[in-house]
A and B are shown apart, each in its own frame.
Chain A
Amino acid sequence: MAYTENELASDLENQEYKYGFVTNIESEQVPKGLTEETIRLISKKKEEPEWLLEYRLKAFEIWNNMVEPTWAHVHYDKPNFQDIIYYSAVKKKKYENWDDVEPEMKATMEKLGISMDEQKVLTGTNVAVDFVMDSVSVATSFKAKLAELGIIFCSFSDAVKEHSELIKKYMGTVVPVTDNFYAALNAAVFTDGSFCYIPKGVRCPMELSTYFRINEQGTGQFERTLVVADEGSYVSYLEGCTAPQRDENQLHAAVVELIALDNAEIKYSTVQNWYPGDKDGKGGIFNFVTKRGLCERNAKISWTQVETGSAVTWKYPSCILKGDNSVGEFYSVAVTNNYQQADTGTKMIHLGKNTKSTIISKGVSAGKSNNSYRGLVQIHKNAQNARNFSQCDSLLMSDECGAHTFPYIECKNSSAKIEHEATTSKIGEDQIFYCNQRGISTEKAISLIVNGYCKEVLNQLPMEFAVEAQKLLAISLEGSVG
């Protein structure tokens, strides 16, 4: 046991959203609003090749003809797309080495618990980090070390310049521009993100991590992540997100594409903690994200999500199980409190033979929040012997919240086996009393019980992330049970 609830105690002193600070650093922005000109400007600022500008403009045209989807079980005032700043960059864009980084930026990273200082990294906690603030990638660590193995881990912008062929080959193949409203928007205006390529047969020796941070007021964050695991390779990828506390709703519309070629494995973990808005539901991030992975033969993609943030979340990390014997997994904890709304889940598309998918979803609803699981399991005609198991549980912590389950199960092959189970229950009063009788306070008891309830998912996270996630769960639910 490297950590327990008790060791978290001191971390929990501050009940407020602790990432709600603003970094006071000079930034360069493009004017508010979205026109073809904005896109040309972004592309120019980023010194992009012509083909990418074309790609963006095409996406913009497609987006212009799309309508915002309304089927999710969430209610919000639609963002005004002309009132968003689409590009905001730290003025001094790229740091040649760590010493060049401004103290304010260093302080920000420190507050967020991001270590970029390769020298100071302790053995055993090897994590290479790409830090993205507002529109651009600020710094990437361990680049050289990874390069020795042929691993490319850099900002998306750098990748466009330095690995143009790979980007051209894979970008938009899993999440096409036409996929949905927000994916199209992202394709038109994305500013940065991370790119990662693991060569054939290489097992990436450390966790790769991207840390996303919205800093400037009025900005939207539109990043793109592309992870390509070549044949027989392995990578574990982590993603963390925070934003300052603001009264306005800020938009985050990201696209994540994963490609696992034959026999490759990608483990993608997210701890999402965008600012959720205040107790009265004011402010907070609109998190409308498209995440999808493609599995070739014998490949495996595993999504693990711990989500406690955002005012409105709309997200379905999915697996296209194209290759025979490929495996998709989805482990998720979604916590909503106060006025948060989440409509999240996954899609498992079984195309290949002997494909397998597992879905474990744990929802916790508190306050006046609404938490929905929406999942699709689709077995195509040629997917012989496909297997799916889904378990979707909801835990209710107040009598004013909602917990909903909307699974879609579509089967066109008679050799498939699909099992879906869902339960909804209240946190057990007997359990709380039992903890109380052992001297444990009600708050702590709830934290223990909720962490226990989510354990199957938390166990999937790399260690440091698991600790982070446990803290987050505790903070998110502080004061949620009366």
Chain B
Amino acid sequence: MIKIENLQASIDGKEILKGLNLEVKAGEIHAIMGPNGAGKSTLASILAGREEYEVTEGTVDFDGTDLLELSTEDRAREGLFLAFQYPIEIPGVSNINFLKTAINEIREYKGEEPISAKEFMQMVRDKSAIVELDSKLASRSVNEGFSGGEKKRNEIFQMAMLNPKLAILDETDSGLDIDALRIVATGVNKLKTKDNATIVITHYQRLLDYIVPDFVHVLFDGKIVKTGTKELALELEEKGYDWIKEELAL
């Protein structure tokens, strides 16, 4: 699905990623953990195509295409979805209008017909149920006046609507109470198929109780320094990131 090789990137001349390697196959869930400032959100931003970051080295192959060559919207149209850590508010633009625009632009890119109003509304009803999102929220302005939990659920709702190949969840658990966390995680699990993949970026192990990863990677100082299974996450939670530092003599 996605193969990242020796990815190096910087912002304002400051090096953030220092040779990152990662491969995610269809049907897999990968968790990326790491202390603050390790480069977790930078990785998400670079994959989504934020222009502030400069990629200095490395390649990213996304299902056979060179991801780094694509514009942000074309990456999205190819099936890459980023659930934002801080979802953006767009006053006056309804969630529905926003999503319909997105879906039809993606369809147009793929040479498909626009979605019919009926089909679209049915989809809204079905998908909003997945994240227990009040259907009223769907007609409100994008993220405007949403609570923190509603914003995160709205991200997963959008993910459900756009049905991406690869979803990157950037600290989707941050700021969520346990109930909201469960709803969000259940939503993500329901959307899981053998053909798509998920990268979960998180600081805390608790999300991984609900979204069980196949692999856990530790990102430290711009590189993946350790890879394991979900037990690694538990160990990290218990021993803290200093443990990794000591164990790897970093």
Residues of chain A touching chain B, judged by Cβ–Cβ distance below 8 Å, are: 1, 4-6, 9, 428, 430-431, 433-442, 444, 448-449, 451-456
Contacts and interface: CB of A to CB of B under 8 A. Distances in A.
A452 B92 contact: yes
A456 B93 CA distance: 11
Contacts, number: 97
Interface stretch (B58-66, B72-80, B185-193): B72-80
Given A439-B77, A441-B73, A449 B90 contact: yes
Contacts of A434: 84, 87-88, 90
B101 A5 contact: yes
Contacts of A438: 76, 98-99, 102, 158, 162
A444 B108 CA distance: 13
A451 B93 contact: yes
Interface residues of B, number: 38
Nearest to B161: A438
Given A439-B103, A455-B92, 14 more contacts: A4-B96, A5-B100, A431-B88, A434-B88, A435-B73, A435-B90, A437-B49, A437-B82, A438-B99, A439-B73, A440-B98, A451-B93, A452-B92, A452-B93
Nearest to B144: A452
Contact of B92 (A5, A428, A436, A451): A451
A279 B103 CA distance: 33
B50 interface: yes
Contacts of B99: 438
Chain B, interface SS category: helix
B97 A4 contact: yes
B21 interface: no
Nearest to B108: A9
B105 A444 contact: yes
Most buried by B among A6, A428, A442: A6
A455 B89 CA distance: 15
B92 A454 contact: yes
A439 B76 contact: yes
B162 A449 contact: no
Contacts of B97: 1, 4-5, 448
Contacts of B49: 436-437
Contacts of B81: 437
Contacts of B101: 4-6, 440, 444, 448
A440 B100 CA distance: 10
A109 B101 CA distance: 31
B88 A428 contact: yes
B175 interface: no
B106 interface: yes
29 contacts: A1-B96, A5-B97, A6-B100, A6-B105, A6-B114, A428-B88, A431-B88, A433-B48, A434-B87, A435-B73, A435-B98, A436-B71, A436-B72, A436-B73, A437-B48, A438-B76, A438-B98, A438-B99, A439-B102, A440-B76, A440-B98, A442-B73, A448-B98, A449-B93, A451-B92, A452-B90, A452-B92, A452-B93, A453-B92
A428 B94 CA distance: 17
Given A4-B100, A4-B101, A9-B104, A440 B73 contact: yes
B91 interface: yes
A338 B48 CA distance: 32
B141 interface: yes
Most buried by B among A6, A437, A451: A437
Nearest to A436: B72
Nearest to B72: A436
B109 interface: yes
B93 A437 contact: no
A451 B92 CA distance: 7
Contacts of B96: 1, 4
A55 B120 CA distance: 60
Given A436-B49, A438-B76, A438-B162, A452 B141 contact: yes
Contacts of A435: 73, 90, 98, 102
Most buried by A among B72, B97, B103, B106: B72
A439 B109 contact: yes
B162 A439 contact: yes
Contacts of B88: 428, 430-431, 433-434
A342 to B, nearest CB: 21
Contact of B90 (A4, A9, A436, A448): A448
Contacts of A431: 88-90
A240 B81 CA distance: 43
Contacts of A455: 91-93
Interface string B106-133: 1011000010010000000000000000
Contact of B93 (A6, A9, A441, A448): A448
A433 B50 contact: yes
Contacts of A451: 92-93
A435 B162 CA distance: 13
Contacts of A449: 90, 93
Nearest to A362: B92
Query: Which 6 pairs show the lowest CB-CB distances between chains A and B?
Result: A452-B92, A452-B93, A455-B92, A436-B72, A439-B76, A434-B88
A434 to B, nearest CB: 4
A444 B76 CA distance: 15
Nearest to B74: A439
B62 to A, nearest CB: 14
Nearest to A459: B92
B90 A439 contact: no
Contacts of A430: 88
Contacts of A444: 101, 105
A439 B98 CA distance: 10
Contacts of B109: 439
Contacts of B104: 6, 9
B117 to A, nearest CB: 8
Contacts of B71: 436
Contacts of A448: 90, 93, 97-98, 101
Contacts of A436: 49, 71-73, 76
A74 B200 CA distance: 55
A456 B50 contact: no
A4 B94 CA distance: 10
Interface in B123-166: 141, 158, 162
A271 B77 CA distance: 35
Most buried by A among B77, B82, B104, B158: B104
A393 to B, nearest CB: 10
